[in-house]
């Protein structure tokens, strides 16, 4: 279940799903809850799950890809990386700058690498985090360092 809400409603929406006094028990084996704040994030989450990938690991892959892109081309400008599957079924991150796709990165190997190093991630359906984005993965990595 992916919920598209305005940025101003994220905290309230998370309370509905996560707090001890939530309005209802939304934790079931059948559903995985996510909260996103843009139509592009909604589409991306759907594509990630349709590809059988873990969106938490995908956020780590985006960090790895960003680092790789900037090491290879320090002057490369882009606003975001977004998951997609190309015509031949390869998992990629499209590079977007000013709403235009300016390139793509094949991420199958990066995903496998990141997945093999995420042993401490809980089972996807047991994780109570519902907002999975760049800020989330940066916080997770900071927690691990401490």
Query: Any bridge partners for residue 4, and if so which?
Result: 36
pTM score, whole prediction:
0.83
Return the closest-CA partner of residue 46 out of 55, 74, 37, 69: 55
Note whether 23 and 16 are within 8 A (CB): yes
- Helix 55-72 to helix 134-145 angle (10° resolution) is 90
pLDDT at 46: 95
Confidence of residue 144 (pLDDT cuts 50, 70, 90): confident
Backbone phi, then psi, for 114, in 5-degree steps?
Answer: -65, -40
Residue 21 CB-density burial (10 A; 0-12 exposed, 13-18 middle, 19+ buried): exposed
Better-predicted residue by pLDDT, 140 or 19: 140
The strand order across the sheet containing 91-97 reads 80-85, 91-97, 100-106
Share of the chain above pLDDT 70, in %: 83
Query: Is the confidence at residue 117, as pLDDT, over 60?
Result: yes
């Amino acid at each position: 279940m992916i919920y598209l809400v305005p940025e101003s409603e994220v905290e309230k929406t998370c309370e509905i799903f996560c707090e001890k006094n939530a309005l209802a028990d939304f934790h079931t084996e059948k559903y995985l809850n996510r909260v996103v704040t843009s139509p592009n994030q909604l589409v991306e989450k759907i594509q990630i799950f349709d590809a059988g990938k873990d969106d938490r690991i995908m956020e780590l892959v985006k960090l790895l890809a960003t680092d790789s892109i900037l090491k290879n081309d320090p002057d490369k400008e882009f606003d975001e990386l977004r998951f997609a599957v190309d015509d031949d079924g390869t998992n990629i991150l499209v590079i977007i700058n000013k709403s235009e796709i300016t390139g793509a990165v094949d991420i199958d190997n990066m995903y496998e690498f990141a997945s093999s190093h995420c042993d401490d991630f809980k089972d996807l359906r047991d994780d109570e985090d519902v907002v999975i984005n760049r800020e989330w993965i940066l916080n997770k990595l900071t927690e691990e360092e401490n």
